Chains A and B, each alone.
Chain A
Amino acid sequence: MLLFRSEQHIDRWCNQWNRPRGGALTLIQGWKLAQLWYGDRLNPQWQPKTAVEAESVFQDVGLVGEFWKLTG
Chain B
Amino acid sequence: MPRPDDFDRRLRLFVYRQMIRTGACPSIAEMSRSLKASPKSIRTALSRLSEGHAFMQQENGELWRVAPFSAIPTAFPVTLGRRSWFGNCIWDALGIPAMLGKNAHIGASCGCCNLAMPIEIRAGKLHSGPGIIHIAVPACEWYKDVAFT
Contacts and interface: CB of A to CB of B under 8 A. Distances in A.
Interface of A: 1-7, 9-10, 12-14, 16-17, 19, 21-31, 33-35, 37-39, 41-42, 44-48, 54, 58, 66-70
Contacts of A5: 110, 112-113, 115, 117, 130-132
B72 interface: no
Find the residue from A1, A30, A45, A67 having the highest chain B CB count within 10 A.
Answer: A1
A14 B119 contact: no
Given A13-B111, A27-B119, A42-B13, A34 B98 contact: yes
A43 to B, nearest CB: 10
Contacts of A28: 126
Interface stretch (B28-36, B38-46, B57-65, B137-145): B137-145
